Amino acid sequence: MNTLNRRSFLELSTKLCAVMGLAASAIPRLAEAAEELASGNAPVLWLQGQSCSGCSISLLDAEAISPVQLITRYINLSFHQTLSTTTGQQAVETVNKIISAGGYILIVEGAVPAGMPKACTFGGEAFGEQLIRAAQKAKAVIAVGSCAAFGGIPGAENNPTGAVSVPQYLKDQHISTPTILTPGCPCHPDWLLGTVTYLLKLGMPPLDELGRPKAFYSRLVHDQCPRFADYERERFARTFGDEGCLFKLGCLGPITHTDCSVRPWNSGVNSCIRAGAPCIGCGGEQFAARAGMAFITKKRAAEKQG
């Protein structure tokens, strides 16, 4: 019952290959995937825990595959709290129907308040309970964004809710549904789109030891940094707005595994380091984790004190 011709599929698939960095030889297979998906066979259930909705907002900024294309040609977005027309009791029933049918991709945005279940509820049910039900019946789970992937700010030191990441929570609950992490604060739309579409057709993408798709998270920000030559020549920015490498302003590019340096944001308009802002490691495992670990500034403040 698909409504697209073969040529449109090929065009979309070419875009997808560009996003994933795949060889052109994958295009026919991906085109087939798009056709399969258009028949409504790829339900996606999107749940939000302790989140800011930033990863959803980021996905709406996608260009490689537009949000409309994604929803009408790639997946059946069966429920999303910010986008779904359904509301109230009808929304609860819709989600429950999806869960009992099973076989969907579960995308989770936000952390889980494991130590204070009432800190996040959906239709009166603790989010943690809902997540257990939903993850058990999912084909795979994608923990989108740093809160879901690593705990992020809700799970940072001194947090009052005992918030943990999605994989940690599922492990503690002995749920073994395959789980992929696409961290980032927010997650870059390409990272999520590339992962979802790969998963739907080709199966599990190659993952690193933390469960992140290698296609996006295998290199350090620093290694592909537009200011790398400044680093090599030891030309360091001394304050904001200066030319040069931002390392001495506390840039966390040397310990952060994302491909932002070669995959700028908002349709390629800009990126943090290009805009003179030191990397704060928002896609990293330790993002915001400890109160004593300032992003940019500890060095600056300390220098000023000295």
Site for another protein in 210-229 (CB under 8 A): none
Nearer to another protein, 32 or 63 (CB): 63
Distance CA 224, CA 94 (A): 45
Residue 225 catalytic? Answer: yes
Exactly one of 128, 167, 186, 194 binds another protein (CB under 8 A); which one?
186
Contact call for residue 72 and another protein (CB under 8 A)? yes
Residue 55 catalytic? Answer: yes
Residue 279 catalytic? Answer: yes
Contact call for residue 306 and another protein (CB under 8 A)? no
Exactly one of 84, 136, 224, 286 binds another protein (CB under 8 A); which one?
84
- Taking the CA of residue 33 as centre, how many other CA atoms within 13 Å lie in the half-sphere pointing to its CB? 23
Distance CA 121, CA 169 (A): 16
Point out which residues pair with 182 in neighbouring strands.
Answer: 144
Nearer to another protein, 25 or 89 (CB): 89
The residues in 86-115 that bind another protein, with binding defined as CB under 8 A, are 86-92, 94, 97-98, 101, 111, 113
Q: What are phi and psi of 164, to 5 degrees?
A: -130, 165
Exactly one of 185, 192, 221, 252 binds another protein (CB under 8 A); which one?
185
CA 269 to chain centre: 19
Contact call for residue 24 and another protein (CB under 8 A)? no
Q: Kindly name the residue from 120, 187, 245, 257 that is annotated as catalytic.
A: 245
Q: Kindly name the residue from 185, 187, 188, 257 that is annotated as catalytic.
A: 185
129: helix, coil or strand?
helix
Nearer to another protein, 56 or 165 (CB): 56
Nearer to another protein, 50 or 165 (CB): 50
Residue 187 catalytic? Answer: no
Exactly one of 140, 166, 215, 282 binds another protein (CB under 8 A); which one?
282
Contact call for residue 14 and another protein (CB under 8 A)? no
Contact call for residue 203 and another protein (CB under 8 A)? no
Distance CA 291, CA 298 (A): 11
Distance CA 135, CA 48 (A): 13
Give how many residues touch another protein by CB under 8 A: 102
Helical pair 88-101 and 127-136, crossing angle rounded to 10 deg = 30
Find out whether the peptide bond into 186 is cis, omega within 30 degrees of 0: yes
Among the listed residues 216, 96, 122, 113, the one whose alpha carbon sits nearest the alpha carbon of residue 168: 113
Which region among 9-17, 149-157, 170-178, 212-220 touches another protein (by CB under 8 A)? Answer: 149-157
Shortest spacing between CB 174 and another protein, in angstroms: 25
The Cβ of residue 295 has, within 10 Å, a number of other Cβ atoms equal to 17
Distance CA 168, CA 154 (A): 14
The residues in 219-278 that bind another protein, with binding defined as CB under 8 A, are 239-241, 264-267, 269-277
Exactly one of 13, 161, 182, 256 binds another protein (CB under 8 A); which one?
161
How far is residue 59 from each of residues 56, 62, 282, 305, measured CA to CA in Å? 5, 5, 17, 42
Contact call for residue 149 and another protein (CB under 8 A)? no
Distance CA 143, CA 134 (A): 13
Residues with a known catalytic role: 52, 55, 147, 185, 222, 225, 245, 251, 260, 272, 279, 282
